[in-house]
Chains A and B, each alone.
Chain A
C-alpha cells in the first residue's frame, strides 16, 4: 500500500512539475489563448457571464458585449480565438461551462469550414489548431478532439504535446529566449513589457470583454470580393465537423444552455455558403437558432468592415443589435425591463410616427403623433435632422409639447427631460417640464436654457400634479423667423436611470461652498472637484467650468475621487463629459482605477472632442479609489484650456449614441 501511495505521489509530482514547466516555457505574448486564459485566471469574475460567445476571430469582431451591456444591461464575454475550428470550440465550451454555466451561448460558425476557407488548410491545422487546443484544460472533450484530428494533414497535435505544452516550447530553455517576464508572468503585470502585437491586441480586446474594437475602413469592392451568394444549394459539411456541431448542441442541451449559431459576414468560398444550408438543416432538426447575418442584415461595406473578413465596431454593433432580442428572449427578459423608461411617446423626430402623414403643420393642433402646438405662429416641418418649428409671429408665443395624462402617479418623483437640439435661432425658446393640476393650471415648471446638443431639464414633480407638459416654449420677446430643430426628446424618472457616481457634475450651476469663481493652483475648486498642479487656473463660466493651463512644465487637470470604489470591481463604468470648448489636444478624459495605496492599476481614456465624450472602463480587482476627470500630462502649453459643461459616471457601458439620456 505504501508503495502504491508513493507511486501516486510521484506521478502527482511529475504532473505538478510539468505544469510549472508549461507556465515557464510557454511564450507569453504569442498565444492569444494563453493571454486570455491568464486574464481569466486573474479576473475570475469574467468567467461568470450569462451570455458567452465562442468561435473564431469572427466572433470577437462581430459581437460587442459592451454594446449589449449598454443597450440591455446584460453582460457578455467573447471567448473566441483566431482560427478556432468547431472541434476546438466544443472543447473550449466544455471547459468554460465547467467554470460557469451561462444561460446563453452564441457560437460563430466560421470554424465549420476548416478544410476550405480563405485561410489555408496548412495554417488552420498546422498552426491554429495546436495553438488553440494546447491551452484547453485536460478534459474528455479535449482528448476527443486530439484523437479525432491528430491524423489530419499538417495537424501538429498529439496527446503528449497538447496536454503537456512545455514539450513544444522546450527549446526556449537553450535558445536564449527566456526572459524575466517568463518567471513572473501575469497579465496585468506584463502589459508594459510586451511589444508583441498579439499581446497588444489581446490587451485591447480584454478591456472590452473579449471584443476587438476595429475601426472601420472603406471596403470599396466588397461586393466583388464576395462573389457568391447563398442560393440555397446544399452541400454536406464534413462528417467529423458535423459530429462536433452535434456535440456542441448536446453539451448545451445537457447543461441547459440556450444555443444560438450565427455567421458573421466575410468573403466566403461558394462551398462555405452551400454548407450553411446543411448547418441550417441540423439546427432546425435540433431546434437550435441559426442566423446568417449576411442574409439577415444589410451591411454597409463602406463603414461596417475592417477588411474583407472582419467587421468594424459599427458592423459589430449592428450584428449585436440584431442578436440582442434573441439573447434577451433566451434570458427570459424583455428589453424594456433593462432600459430606463421613456415617459414620452414618439420622441424620435428623425423618423416619427406621423398618422396624418403631413410634412408641414401650421397653427395650433397635433402635429406628428402626440406632439402639439398651441399658437398660430407655429409652423412645424419634418426634416432629416429632426422636427423643425419656425415661429411666424412677433406677438404670440410658439412651442411644441406633449402632454402626459394621469401624471398623478409621478408625484414625488424626480424627472429628467433630455432634448437633442440640432439647430436653433433665437434665445427665448426654452426646454420645459410643466407640472399641472387637475384644472390644467401650472403648479411647477422647470426649464433650461436653449443650446446645441443634449439639453437636460430636471424636475421634482409636486403633489397635486395631474398633467405634465414637456416640450419647448417661447412666450415673450419672440421674433418671426426664430426656429428650432429637435432630433429627439425623452423623459425619464430618475429612479429608472443608472446611478451617477459623480457628485456635483453640473458645472453650469455647481455647488460651490468656497464661493469663488476663480481657483488657482492645487486644491479643491467647486465641491468635490480637484486640481493637482500649480498650472491649473479654474474659472466658473455660464457655459461650464473652465480650466486654463498656465505652465509649460507640469500637467494640468480636474478630477473627482470616488472613495470606497471597491464595490465597483468587475463593473463597467462610463464617464460622460460634455465638452463645450477646448484648446490644445493633450488633455484627455480619464477613468483611473487605483489600489489602496492610490497607485494606478488601470487607466482608460478617450480623445478630447467637442460635445459629449465617453470613457468606458471595467474596474479591475484591487481597486479602492477611482479618479474621474480630465488630465493633461505631456506636451502641455500655457493657454491650453478646456470648458466642461457636465460630467457624470454611470454604471454600465455606453457610447454617446447609446446613452439613454
Chain B
C-alpha cells in the first residue's frame, strides 16, 4: 500500500475508532431505545436510560480534540506527538475536560510544556475570572434554572407571557451557565499560566444567526467549520452544495449535543435560519432602502440583534425540551395569550421570589452593561487587575459575598451540574 494511502487509511481508522466510541456511548443507546431493541429482551427504555449507561466524563470533548488532532497531523499542520503521556495530557487537561473549550493542539500543548513563573498579577486575573464564572453559574444561571425548570415541567398550565419569559430566561441561563463554566476553566488555567481560548464573544449581541455562531461556543463552531464544513466543500462547490453542507454541519452539531430529534431540529433550525438569511439578503436590503434605514446604523443593529436573539431563543426551546412534543407544546402555549397579570403573584411562587428576581435583574443589568461597554470580558478583568488595591479588594469582596449570599447551593437547593457538561 502506498505511503499516502496507508496514511489516509490510518487516519480514517483512527477517526472511526474515536467516533465509534463516542457513537457507542452517546448515540447507540438512543437508537436502541428508538427501535425498542434490548440485549436481553428487557425493557429497552429502562436499560438505556441515562442513569443506566456509564458515560466517560468529557467524552464528547476529547473525541473532538482527538479528531481535530488527527486531522491536523494528517494535513501536516502539526507534528505528531510521540510521547503518550504528553498526548494524554493534552487530551485530558483537567479544567477543560467537562465542558471545554475544545482546544487545538498547536495552541494548548506548548503552554502545557512551558516553564512557568509565579506572578501575582496572573493569579489575580485567574481568581477574578473564576469568581466571575461562579457568579454567572451560581447566582444567575442556577437561580434562573429554578424558574425555567418549573415552567418547562408545568408549561401546560401557564400563561404565554410567563412561558416566553421562561424561554428568554433559559437563553440567559444557558449562556451564563456555559460561559460561567468556561470562565472558571479559564480562570483556573490562568493560575497555571495557561490561556484557553475564549469561547464566547457577546453572542446575544449578534446581528445574524451566522454572526451568533461566530460568537457562541467558538471552539465548537470553529471545530465544526474546520473539520466538517470545509472538508465537505464549504462554500466552494456552489450555492446548493453550500446549503447542504451547512445543513449537514448543523445536524452533526445537533447530534453532538444529544441523540434526540429535538437536538436535530435545533441544529436544522440554525442551518435553515442561515440559509433563509442568505436567500433573503437581497429583499431585506431593498426593504431597508425603502424604509430609508442606513446600513450599519444603530437602529438597524438593534433591530437585527432583537430578531436574532428571538430566533436563537426560539431554537433553544427545542434544545431545552425533553422531546419534540414538549418543544412544540411549549411554543403553542406561548401563543395562547399574553396575560400581563400573570407576571405577578403566582409567578413568584415557582421557586424564585420577588427578592430573588430583583437580585437577578440587578445582575443581568450589570452583565448587560459590562458586555455593552467593554470589548470583551477579558478587557474588564484586565481593567480590574490594574486598579488600586482598595478598588480591587472591593471588587473581590463584592464578587465573593455575592456568591455566598445569593448563590444557589446548600440545603434547600438541588445541586445542578454544568449544563454543557451533559453533552
Residues of chain A with a CB closer than 8 A to B401's CB: 17, 21
Closest-CB distance, B267 to chain A (whole angstroms)? 39
B393 interfacial by beta-carbon distance below 8 Å: yes
Interface stretch (choices A162-170, A293-301, A576-584, A607-615): A162-170
State which of B353, B358, B389, B410 has its C-beta within 8 Å of the C-beta of A161.
B410
Closest-CB distance, A265 to chain B (whole angstroms)? 35
Closest-CB distance, A151 to chain B (whole angstroms)? 15
A6 interfacial by beta-carbon distance below 8 Å: yes
Q: Is the CB of A14 within 8 A of B397?
A: yes
Count class of interface residues, chain B: 10 to 19
Q: Is the CB of A175 within 8 A of B353?
A: yes
Max count, chain B CB within 10 A of own CB: residue among A10, A13, A14, A174: A174
Bound Cα distance A14, B404 (Å): 11
Bound Cα distance A542, B120 (Å): 90
Residues of chain B with a CB closer than 8 A to A14's CB: 397, 400
Nearest neighbor of B413 in chain A, beta-carbon distance? A171
Q: Is the CB of B404 within 8 A of A174?
A: no
Q: Is the CB of B120 within 8 A of A3?
A: yes
Bound Cα distance A171, B139 (Å): 12
B25 interfacial by beta-carbon distance below 8 Å: no
Residues of chain A with a CB closer than 8 A to B213's CB: none
Closest-CB distance, B405 to chain A (whole angstroms)? 5
Q: Mark B377-417, 1 if CB is under 8 A from A, else 0.
A: 00000000000010001001100110011100011100000
Q: Mark A167-191, 1 if CB is under 8 A from B, else 0.
A: 1101101111000000000000000
Given contacts A6-B389, A14-B397, contact A168 B410 (CB under 8 A): yes
Q: Is the CB of B404 within 8 A of A166?
A: yes
Residues of chain A with a CB closer than 8 A to B51's CB: none
Closest-CB distance, A346 to chain B (whole angstroms)? 64
B359 interfacial by beta-carbon distance below 8 Å: yes
Residues of chain B with a CB closer than 8 A to A174's CB: 353, 355-356, 358-359, 406
Closest-CB distance, A122 to chain B (whole angstroms)? 13
Bound Cα distance A3, B405 (Å): 28
Residues of chain A with a CB closer than 8 A to B397's CB: 13-14, 17
State which of A3, A160, A170, A175 has its C-beta within 8 Å of the C-beta of B406.
A170
A309 interfacial by beta-carbon distance below 8 Å: no
Given contacts A173-B355, A174-B353, A174-B359, contact A10 B393 (CB under 8 A): yes
State which of B396, B400, B405 has its C-beta within 8 Å of the C-beta of A173.
B405
A residues contacting B by CB (< 8 A) are: 3, 6, 10, 13-14, 17-18, 21, 156, 160-161, 164, 166-168, 170-171, 173-176
Residues of chain B with a CB closer than 8 A to A21's CB: 401, 404-405
- Sorted nearest first, the 8 A-B pairs with minimum C-beta distance are A174-B355, A170-B405, A156-B411, A174-B356, A175-B355, A3-B120, A173-B405, A174-B359
Closest-CB distance, B409 to chain A (whole angstroms)? 8
Residues of chain B with a CB closer than 8 A to A166's CB: 404-405
B residues contacting A by CB (< 8 A) are: 120, 353, 355-356, 358-359, 389, 393, 396-397, 400-401, 404-406, 410-412
Bound Cα distance A11, B405 (Å): 17
Closest-CB distance, B133 to chain A (whole angstroms)? 19
Q: Is the CB of A10 within 8 A of B396?
A: yes
Residues of chain A with a CB closer than 8 A to B412's CB: 171
Residues of chain A with a CB closer than 8 A to B356's CB: 174
Nearest neighbor of B405 in chain A, beta-carbon distance? A170
Query: What would 8 more interface pairs be, CB under 8 Å, given A17-B401, A170-B406, A175-B355?
Result: A10-B396, A14-B400, A18-B404, A21-B405, A156-B411, A161-B411, A171-B412, A174-B355
Bound Cα distance A21, B393 (Å): 18
Max count, chain B CB within 10 A of own CB: residue among A3, A156, A160, A171: A171
State which of A13, A156, A171, A176 has its C-beta within 8 Å of the C-beta of B393.
A13
User: What are 8 of the A-B contact pairs (CB < 8 Å)?
Assistant: A6-B389, A10-B396, A13-B397, A14-B400, A18-B404, A160-B410, A174-B353, A175-B353
Closest-CB distance, B417 to chain A (whole angstroms)? 19
Residues of chain A with a CB closer than 8 A to B405's CB: 21, 166, 170, 173
Closest-CB distance, B358 to chain A (whole angstroms)? 7
Nearest neighbor of A158 in chain B, beta-carbon distance? B410
Nearest neighbor of A6 in chain B, beta-carbon distance? B389
Residues of chain B with a CB closer than 8 A to A175's CB: 353, 355
Bound Cα distance A3, B389 (Å): 11
Bound Cα distance A3, B124 (Å): 12
Residues of chain A with a CB closer than 8 A to B353's CB: 174-175
Q: Is the CB of B404 within 8 A of A167?
A: yes
Max count, chain A CB within 10 A of own CB: residue among B396, B404, B406: B404
Residues of chain B with a CB closer than 8 A to A156's CB: 411
Bound Cα distance A165, B274 (Å): 52
Bound Cα distance A6, B124 (Å): 13
Closest-CB distance, B224 to chain A (whole angstroms)? 41
Q: Is the CB of B355 within 8 A of A167?
A: no
Bound Cα distance A174, B358 (Å): 9
Closest-CB distance, B127 to chain A (whole angstroms)? 11
Closest-CB distance, A498 to chain B (whole angstroms)? 52
Closest-CB distance, A470 to chain B (whole angstroms)? 69
Bound Cα distance A417, B405 (Å): 68
Bound Cα distance A658, B406 (Å): 56
Residues of chain A with a CB closer than 8 A to B120's CB: 3
Residues of chain B with a CB closer than 8 A to A160's CB: 410
Bound Cα distance A160, B389 (Å): 27
Bound Cα distance A168, B400 (Å): 16
Residues of chain B with a CB closer than 8 A to A167's CB: 404, 410
Nearest neighbor of B396 in chain A, beta-carbon distance? A10
Q: Is the CB of B393 within 8 A of A168?
A: no
Bound Cα distance A18, B400 (Å): 11
Max count, chain A CB within 10 A of own CB: residue among B389, B396, B411: B411
Closest-CB distance, A561 to chain B (whole angstroms)? 51
Closest-CB distance, A415 to chain B (whole angstroms)? 67
Q: Is the CB of A170 within 8 A of B393?
A: no
Bound Cα distance A173, B355 (Å): 8
Bound Cα distance A471, B358 (Å): 83
Closest-CB distance, A8 to chain B (whole angstroms)? 13
Residues of chain A with a CB closer than 8 A to B358's CB: 174
Residues of chain B with a CB closer than 8 A to A168's CB: 410-411
Closest-CB distance, A18 to chain B (whole angstroms)? 8
Closest-CB distance, B390 to chain A (whole angstroms)? 11
Nearest neighbor of B389 in chain A, beta-carbon distance? A6
Bound Cα distance A174, B120 (Å): 36
Closest-CB distance, B328 to chain A (whole angstroms)? 36
Closest-CB distance, A172 to chain B (whole angstroms)? 10
State which of B389, B400, B404 has its C-beta within 8 Å of the C-beta of A170.
B404
Max count, chain A CB within 10 A of own CB: residue among B120, B401, B405: B405
Closest-CB distance, B406 to chain A (whole angstroms)? 7
Closest-CB distance, B154 to chain A (whole angstroms)? 23
Nearest neighbor of A177 in chain B, beta-carbon distance? B355
Closest-CB distance, B399 to chain A (whole angstroms)? 12
Bound Cα distance A168, B353 (Å): 17
Closest-CB distance, B376 to chain A (whole angstroms)? 27
